[in-house]
Amino acid sequence: MSSLLQNAHRIVVKVGSALVTNDGRGLDESAIERWAGQIAELRRMGREVILVSSGAVAEGVLRLGWEKRPQRVYEKQAAAAVGQMGLVQAYETHFRAYGIRTALVLLTHANLVDREQYLNARMTLNELLRLGIVPVINENDTVVTSEIKVGDNDTLGALVTNLVEADCLVILTDQKGLYTADPRKDPSADFVSSAEAGRPELEAMAGGAASSISTGGMITKILAAKRAARSGANTIIASGREENVLVRLAEGEAVGTHLYAASSKLHARKQWLADHLRMVGTVTIDAGAVSALRNGKSLLPVGVVGVEGDFVRGDVVGCVTEDGVEVARGLVNYSSDEARRLCRAHTEEIEERIGHLDRPELIHHDNMVLR
């Protein structure tokens, strides 16, 4: 079996507290140096990488001179705020040694459920990747309470995987991967080298967090793989203690547990669209646009003759013929006000008509289902 990372272009890597801290007290600079080195190698191989890193609370605990990880929410929030400074300093310094710039992106659950903020976060991350930057993501612990937080970085990694439509999520931890039972409690447990993400028997195998420095345990990793598979991404759970693990995976070596998504990225997106087809408005398109869509093309403003309804970027909009027959539905790239101003516009006229050019197409083919 070869590695699911071998052909992955866009990769989300999650490293847990156990891998970047000195047993939960302060950052392990040499470990961070090694992560930067491996990710730099992936970049040289032409891969795009987003890093989801824990470690803020552990570093904050050290900087504040506390004996152990605090229990009270406001203490953890204070520790995260102090420690995040050290975390970004460490990544910035070690990536710079490889000529790579980093960016800090702190997210909360609320950012990812709000449609506008979700789209903005997606655009920003896409732009950072286009600029060759490695985004370093953590939960914005300071502003979340237990009810509204993502809670663990395995889940955050999966949400980011969905957000940027990554090909693969790599969760690095202190075990070789998934075993049929928690190997700390049951030494006779068997290793699972590969399985389909989302299968219920995997959830039954996985237990909670083993140490006081970590939050999730194996169950959050298994659920993260299930969530990542919803956008067609594969997941690998592997040991961060294996020498050069990321590079070896990218070269095709099958280390760790490989949890593959049952459907492809494109199929998953179209399925998502089919399940979220609450249409907010429609655009009327001419005969040329109708045949373009049926031939697998995107909808350009030039083929649009009218706009009905009130919608914002990212809403689901129907495409109807001049006789009122629905041809397709999809996620629209412009608001209804902008779309009205863009009727019949050629691509080079878009900026002049609405003052900016986000995308040449009104609805991209990949974000569209034909009716």
Ligand X SMILES: Nc1ncnc2c1ncn2[C@@H]1O[C@H](COP(=O)(O)OP(=O)(O)O)[C@@H](O)[C@H]1O
Ligand Y SMILES: N[C@@H](CCC(=O)OP(=O)(O)O)C(=O)O
**Spatial separation of the C-alpha atoms in residues 66 and 23, rounded to whole Å:** 14
- The residue with its CB nearest to ligand X is 16
CB of 106 to ligand Y, least distance (A): 9
Could you tell which of ligand X, ligand Y, none binds residue 48, using a CB distance below 5 to 8 A set by kind?
none
- Tell me which of 216, 232, 240, 301 binds ligand Y, using CB under 6 A: 216
CB distance 78 to 157 below 8 Å: no
Q: What is the full DSSP assignment across 338-355?
A: HHHHHTT--GGGHHHHHS
Compute the CA torsion angle 60, 66, 67, 68 (nearest 10 deg).
-40
CB of 20 to ligand X, least distance (A): 9
CB distance 224 to 235 below 8 Å: yes
Whose tokens are 């249409």? That residue is 279
**Spatial separation of the C-alpha atoms in residues 131 and 43, rounded to whole Å:** 12
- According to the binding rule CB under 6 A, does residue 152 interact with ligand Y? yes
Within residues 71-110, the interface with ligand Y by CB under 6 A covers: 80
b/e string for 169-194 if b means 16 or more Cβ within 10 A? bbbbbbbbbbbbbbbeeeeeeeebee
Amino acid identity of residue 203, one-letter, is E
**Spatial separation of the C-alpha atoms in residues 316 and 228, rounded to whole Å:** 22
Could you tell which of ligand Y, ligand X, none binds residue 141, using a CB distance below 5 to 8 A set by kind?
ligand Y
CB of 80 to ligand Y, least distance (A): 6
> Is 14 annotated to bind ligand?
yes
Could you tell which of ligand X, ligand Y, none binds residue 139, using a CB distance below 5 to 8 A set by kind?
ligand Y
> Is 142 annotated to bind ligand?
no
- Tell me which of 50, 56, 307, 316 binds ligand Y, using CB under 6 A: 56
- Tell me which of 8, 88, 105, 139 binds ligand Y, using CB under 6 A: 139
- According to the binding rule CB under 6 A, does residue 54 interact with ligand Y? yes
The contact set with ligand X (CB under 6 A) reads 16-18, 173-175, 178-179, 181-184, 205-207, 209-211, 214, 216-218
- According to the binding rule CB under 6 A, does residue 298 interact with ligand Y? no
Within residues 107-126, the interface with ligand Y by CB under 6 A covers: none
Question: 3-state DSSP call for residue 285?
Answer: strand
> Is 212 annotated to bind ligand?
no
Which of the 8 DSSP states describes residue 303?
Answer: G
Could you tell which of ligand X, ligand Y, none binds residue 182, using a CB distance below 5 to 8 A set by kind?
ligand X
**Spatial separation of the C-alpha atoms in residues 161 and 304, rounded to whole Å:** 33
- According to the binding rule CB under 6 A, does residue 57 interact with ligand Y? yes
Residue list, annotated binding site: 14, 54, 141, 153, 173-174, 215-221
Residues that bind ligand Y (CB under 6 A): 16-17, 54-58, 80, 138-139, 141, 152-153, 214-216
